[in-house]
Each structure stands twice: as structure tokens, then as C-alpha cells.
Structure 1
């Protein structure tokens, strides 16, 4: 195992270690991924062959460590965008993103195959038919990237991998440190060798498909970016003149692809083909037979002046008669749903009168009981079938902001303006314990499957408690403003929090480390939910609702946006998932509750009836829902 600390003098460690024996740094990323051996270094990054310790087979991955030089926020945005684009079959999957101290880490799919550079050196120079086939595969991919405002900035033969093609000649293959191609290096253990492992989860069905790797230099191009110079990224011998000056454009990728083509045609390096004095490429005389059409296309791709070069990949495809078949690739990112499709018919079947504004509700699993807390300091246990209060606990003068039920259903927890968490035996109506430690309003509480309790506060912290002793065993602190919402993953040791600064933070509850921060909301994050994977037909996801009136479903591990829902006219205050029905409900200050399809994001219904802001919402069953608001009522809804 290899230590990821760049300053560690002796980074090699035994596989059984969890902390570096030399510097003490944590060896696993997210308590899951470990670096096995270094592959290479870039200007601002290091690449490692990694292992996913949660997988028995197909467990290799690529770990890239970036020094925090471009700013955390920008890196988060570009990582989220890369995650959205990785649904494309010719782009490696982005498995996870981590932040640790002054560095960021990307964990990506290990692409097993031969790079085009290896093909050239082992099989000889390419002919025209091979170059045309290459362009037919890569130009549509470049157009896809450019359509989504991404410039790769490092296109070269070692970054183009032919998926699943082993090295030829029967000789021992060396690890291509740039392209992450396969290795049969003897120092790797047998279970790690590619020849012993298949890749059943690969997106790419055609084993000869070309994959574009190493998006470490990729950049999202915006109007503001066009107006300012940047830093040279990529490989100088393949970089366009404007990219060498820090002004990469979409046409810069076409230039690099052109350089790649003439290198493959001639077998010579770009430095040998370029006349630096005259600023000209001399490749035709040393290439094989090439038609005038292709030669003219390559010359135009290699033009020094942007005005003389192709402006888009689509323009090159038009000249070569290449059809763009990218229409089947999903468009990542935003999906906005405003109209019900199809409309589902929910009706109010009962109203519970609480007498004062209700801030929080929580159902008791397996029973038709509901707990509520509100502005009058009362905790009420409601029988939803009979429409009446069974128990009432009063705390005069204390505003209750949040309630939660323990996994066994035997304890009720409440938090509020008095800065404490109170634990109740709801069946006897007795207060069993008060947990004190927060220095501001308690905004959210949640029980973990092991019955430990987590609480969030406007003091910018999250605390973990042992309810049976009242001991605070951990404090999570990274938010720059009040923590307004928390949620615990039902299957993974993951805690997610939302803050008033608009950030969503992902924590590991076992190691208690901050794994990553998701940005994108323009206002306070007021609601968080973690739906099971089966409910969204996606990898692990996180839902966040905000005072910016939007609801985002994002990849929990990398931050890529799956959909962004708008429709509420005022801030979103709460949300609830019903995995069995694949439904999502949201509450808002606009007095409405909306029902969405959790998988597609389609709006299915808008429930009206509350006369003031709706503060809480919860599914009681597959077909029943409760909502509570400042109008002092709890409304019970049922789908017909």
C-alpha cells in the first residue's frame, strides 16, 4: 500500500496498515480506496494505481491527487461536470471525489487496453484507413465534450486507449503510466493482474472502442474564461499555439488531434515533424500514401492561426462525411419539470388541528402514528386513523424545531430553540434525558441504524451522541454557517449535511472525516434526503432542497448533477422519499406540497390547502402522506 502524502519520505506500507507507518497519514480514501503504486507525475497532480477494497473482482481503479492550486470551488464544479459527462461510453467512469487537507482526489475507472502509442510502436505506423477510423470515433466524442463546454486540453496517442485489446507479440507489457493501460508486471500479485480479471460492469460493449482518458487537464469553457489567460495544461508537443499561451479553445483539441494523427501516420514524434524556425509541419513526405482529402483536412486541423483552423469537430466531420451518432447519449445535468406528467390524484382525507405552527413531523414506522413539534413547545403523538392526539408533552416557552423517532420506535427525540436535545419515552410520556452541548438553536436530528443520534445546530456543528448515556462522542465541524439539515445513508456509513452557506457536505461516520463538499445552491440548504439506489435507478444519490427554490439530485460520491427541479415559488423547507413508490415530496413556504417521480424528476401533483408556509412533510405509507405548517394544521393526504 502506498501513502498519498507527497511529503512522506517512506510511502510504502504493508497492506494491513490503515495509517502510514512513517508519517501517520490515513491510507484509505473514504475508508475504501487505497493507492497500490505510483504511475506518474504531472505539473499539479500525481497518478496512482488504486484498489477498491469493497470489490472482490474488477477492483482496480485510478487515483489522481491534485494539489489545491485552482481553488476548491472551481475544482468541485469541474469535477461535478466530469461526473455528468462520464455517462458517455468513451469516457472513464468517475467513481468518487475526495477532499483532504490541501488536496483533492479523483477515483476513476481503470481502462484496460492498449494506447494508440503502444499500437504504433508495436504494430507500426497507421495507414489512411486507420486514421479515418480513429477520426470517426474521436471527432463525435470531441463534439460531445465541446457541446458541454469541456476542452480536454491533452489529446495525444497515450491518452487514447483501445478498450480490452491486450499488447501484441507475447512480450511482457509495461505499465503505460500516462494512459493507464494494462500491466502484467511481475511485482503485482496474481489476483491483481488484468489477465485474471474481467470487467463485467464496463459501459463499453465494443471491445475495440477508443476511450479518451486523463481528464486531469480538462477545463470548462465559459464566457468569463474566454476573456482571461490561464495556465498551460497538457503536453507541449501536442498543444496548439494559443494553448501554449494559456488561451485554450475548442479548436485547440482539434489541433492536438491533428498532431496525434500525423504522429501515428509517420511514427515520428511531433518535435521531429515541426519546423520551429518556419513554423511549419513537415509530415507528408514521411507518411505513407494519404489522399489529398485527408491530407488537406489534417493540414487545416494543424493550422497555426485559429482563423485558418476548423472551428468545430462537426466541421471536420462534414468534410470527411462522418455521421455523428451521439444522439443516443444522454444529455447530462439539468432536467426541469413544471407540469405533472402523468398527473396523480392526491386528496386531503383529514386535518389534525395542532393549535400553533407545526415545524416538524415524524411517523412511527409500522404504525399509523405521527409525532409533531411546534412553536408552542408541545410534542404531540397523533393517531392518524382516528384523527386525534394520544399524548401531549409540553415544554412551555420552548420552540420545537425538529423531531425524530429511534430505529426501534421506542424513543422520541426533539430539539429546539433551547439548544438541547430531549429524549422521551413516548409510551409513558416521560422525559428520559436531556443532551446539552450546542451553543445555538438545534435545527435537525437523526437516528443512525445503530441508534446513535446526530444533531445539527446553528452553531455550525454536528454532534454525535450516545443516547443511553448522554455522551457526545464526536463533533463534525466544517460548515461556515448554520447547519440546517442532516440525513444518514440507510446502507452506508455516510452522513450528509446542508448549511446556510449553500453547501452540502458528505462525511464518513466511521472515520469522522469530511469526504467532499458539493456546491451549486445559491442559498441555504434546508432539506436533505438519501434515497436508496433502487429508488432512483442511479448510483448512490443525494437530494438537497434549498431556499433558492430548487431541488437537486446529485451523485453522492462525485457530485454530478442528475436533475435540477424547479417549480416552487418560495423556499423549499422539507422533503421526504417513498422508495417503494419511487416518489418524492417537497414542502415550501409557498404553502404547497409537490409530488415528484423520484426516478425521472417528473412532477406528478401539487397539493394545496395549507394557508401558510409548509414546514415539514413525511410519507406514512406508499399511498399516504402528511404535511404540517405554520397554519397550525397537519394535513393527511392519500392518492386515489
Structure 2
């Protein structure tokens, strides 16, 4: 497995780019890339070229997360203005505007079935769930404080939800927090299940494995410089991957489930072979910290390959071919 650099779009936004997500292909379009920036816009890219297709406005502060619906027809963006904008990908028309007080929404993710949108709820230390049929808030999943904390650690100042991920069957949600804990919830019962521990600093990114036999496996990226691999059901740490020299800001898993990619404030993108449990490639196309990495769907022309995108504080978007 390897990543082959394809193109880098310099000055893809007017400010730091903090978010990226692939829009699945539809009958009318191939896969598209969404990017969100501190310049308050969301941009849509065609990977052929690559070409900028449109710029979406509507937020009044920086965009920190973007997510695409499994249908490929709608998407959502979250800003530090505390609003989520849901829009039609083809027309850019706003479908819904969701408010998520009392503080910023830091990460969004649609469930695999497309029926629910989850948001990591910032200072509320919760995950908020919206029904995508009527865009109504249907649940707020609150994580209790881990047991065994000293009184000085119970203030809640560090309990801040940063990241969210759905299990492949859509029955569980995991959320990473500023204090390094990961909370796992049972969605149908709206119930907290358990914590996953091991990180000592903020957990900024989470993703479940895409491999059918590894659907319980959860990958986490943390400011402590490590990527952890958990069995999310059995509450066990399978392994810890290290190699980045600074914060790991993003992690995503390849469609074949054989590799993960990570982006870091050490300005690099790394490709990790999960069987070897080691980084097999280090890519340095960015000149500043890499806030997001995102694998696209498998290519129609080569089912063993897909695209990877990375975005950075250097305002650029880089594309790679994974094979």
C-alpha cells in the first residue's frame, strides 16, 4: 500500500483550513470534496483537476467541521458561531439551520444509514443527535465524569467534547474529549456505556474501522502524539501507534480497512499499515499543521484504489492516490 501525491491546491481558502469530508458519488456526479475554513466558507471541489466548483457562505465565524450525507445529496457544516448549516450539495440551498448552545459545535458526522446527524457538543460535554427527516433534536448524550478523579479535576473545565464517530451499524457513537477520555454510547437506548482510557491529552479525531470483521475497532488521534487502536466494545486498548513529533489532529481509515492516514501539527501526513502497526510513508506537502485527512470512496476505474485529501493551516488542499 502506498500514497502517490497527485496535486496540491495552494491558497484553496483565504485562511486556515480545518475540515474536510468526501461527498459520495451520485448518478449526476462523481465524488466531491468539501472543505471548511476559518475564512467562514465551505468549498466544494472536483478532484479532476482539481477544480473548485462552488463556495458556500452563511456562517459568521470559522468553519470547524463538515460532513456529507451517505446519499451524496446533502451536507452539513459547523462553525464556532454555534450553528450547523445543512445544505443541498448541488444547489447550495440551505435545508436547515440548527443551533447547538451553549457552546461551539466541534465535529459533525452522519450515521451510516443517513437518518441521524451527530455533533460533538463542545462545552456541554455531550453528543447531540438530530433526526434528518425533520431536523429535530432527538437526543443529547451526556458523558459522566470518569471515576477516580481528584476533587480538583471534577470542575468540568476540561470536559469538552471535540470529536465524534459512528460505529458501522449505527448503533453506537463514540466521542473524544479535551481531557483525553473517549465516551461510548448506545444510541437506540440513548445510554452511556463506558469510557475508553489511555490518552492524556485532547482527542481531536475518531473513526471506526471500515473492515467488516473489525467493526468494533476504533481509532483515535490525540494531542499526546499517539494514535490508539481500541476494541470499543470490550473496552481494551489493542495497540498504540507513535511516530508523529507533535499533536495528531486527524485520523481516517482506508475503504479496504487495511490502513489509516493521520495528519499532525508536525506538518506531515502519515500512512500506517495496520498489519505492521507502523507508518510506511511520511508525506510533507504541507508547510503548516495538517488539520484533517479524509479518504474518499473507492475509484470506479480501480476498485483497489481511492483518493486521500489533506488540509492545513497553510491554506492548501493536497490530493493523493491510495493503492
Into which bin does the TM-score normalised by the smaller protein fall? 0.7 to 0.9
Contact 1:425-1:431 at 8 Å conserved across structures: yes
- Once the two structures are TM-superposed, the CA of residue 512 in structure 1 deviates from its matched residue by 2.2
The aligned counterpart of 1:458 is: 178
* Whole-Å separation in 1 of the counterparts to 2:83 and 2:272: 36
Q: What corresponds to 2:269 in structure 1?
A: 551
Q: Which has the higher helix share?
A: 1
| Contact 1:352 1:388 (8 Å CA) reproduced | no
TM-aligned CA deviation for residue 338 of structure 1: 8.9
Structure 2 residue aligned with 1:86 = none
Equivalent residue runs for 1:33-112 within 5 Å: none
* Mapping 1:405-554, distance limit 5 Å: 405-418=110-123, 419-437=125-143, 439=156, 440-451=159-170, 452-491=172-211, 492=214, 493-533=216-256, 540-554=258-272
Give the match for residue 350 of structure 1.
54
Residue 465 of structure 1 and its aligned partner are, at CA, apart by: 0.3
How far off is 1:517 after superposition? 0.7
Is there any run of 5+ residues in structure 1 with no aligned partner, and where? 1-331, 535-539, 600-640
In the TM superposition, structure 1's runs of 4+ consecutive aligned residues that sit over 4 Å from their partners are 334-340
1:380 and 2:85 matched = yes
Indicate yes or no: 2:107 matched with 1:402. yes
Change (3 A) 1:546 1:397: same
Q: CA deviation at 1:395?
A: 2.9
Q: 1:423-442: CA deviations, max 9, x gaps?
A: 11132121111111264221
Larger Rg: 1
C-alpha distance in structure 2 between counterparts of 1:406 and 1:516, whole Å: 26
Cα distance in 1 for residues equivalent to 2:112 and 2:136: 19
Query: Per-residue deviation at 1:579?
Result: 3.5
User: What does the per-residue CA deviation read over 1:26-84, in whole Å, with 9 as the maximum and x for residues that have no partner?
Assistant: xxxxxxxxxxxxxxxxxxxxxxxxxxxxxxxxxxxxxxxxxxxxxxxxxxxxxxxxxxx
Q: Check the 8 A contact 2:243/2:279 in 1, yes or no.
A: no
- TM-superposed CA distance for 1:420, in Å, is 1.4
Distance in 2, Cα, partners of 1:339 & 1:413:
32
Q: Is the 8 A contact 1:377 1:396 kept in 2?
A: yes
Q: Distance in 2 between matches of 1:482 and 1:367?
A: 31
CA distance in 2, matches of 1:351, 1:546: 26
* Contact 1:585 1:594 survives alignment (8 Å): yes
More strand by share: 2
From 285, 288, 295, give the equivalent of 1:567: 285
Deviations 1:170-215 (A, max 9, x none): xxxxxxxxxxxxxxxxxxxxxxxxxxxxxxxxxxxxxxxxxxxxxx
- Quote the residue 1:365 is aligned against: 70
Q: What SS does the corresponding residue of 2:106 show, helix, strand or coil?
A: strand
Report the alpha carbon displacement of residue 454 of structure 1 after superposing the two structures with TM.
0.7
- Report what 2:11 is aligned to: none
Distance 1:557 1:463, change over 3 A: farther
Secondary structure of 2:51 counterpart: strand
Task: List per-residue Cα deviations over 1:225-260 (Å, max 9, x = no partner).
Answer: xxxxxxxxxxxxxxxxxxxxxxxxxxxxxxxxxxxx
Deviation at 1:531, TM superposition (A): 0.3
Question: Following the alignment from structure 1 to structure 2, what is the Cα–Cα distance between the partners of residues 373 and 339?
Answer: 27
The alignment partner of 2:246 has SS state of coil
**Aligned partners of 1:375 and 1:399 also within 8 Å:** yes
Q: 1:524 to 1:392 in 2, by over 3 A?
A: same
2:4 and 2:322 in contact (8 A); partners too = no
Contact 2:225–2:243 (8 Å) recurs in 1: yes
Rounded Cα–Cα distance in structure 2 between residues aligned with 1:573 and 1:335: 18
Aligned-partner Cα distance in 1 for 2:288–2:66: 21
2:25 is aligned to: none
Mapping of residues 105-504 of structure 1, within 5 Å: 345-355=49-59, 356-396=61-101, 398-418=103-123, 419-437=125-143, 439=156, 440-451=159-170, 452-491=172-211, 492=214, 493-504=216-227
Report the equivalent of 1:246: none
> Does the C-alpha gap of structure 1 residues 476 and 557 become closer, same or farther in structure 2, counting only changes over 3 Å?
farther
Match for residue 19 of structure 2?
none
TM-score normalised to the size of structure 1? 0.39
Which sections of structure 2, spanning at least 5 residues, go unmatched?
A: 9-46, 145-155, 300-305
State the match for 1:589 in structure 2.
313
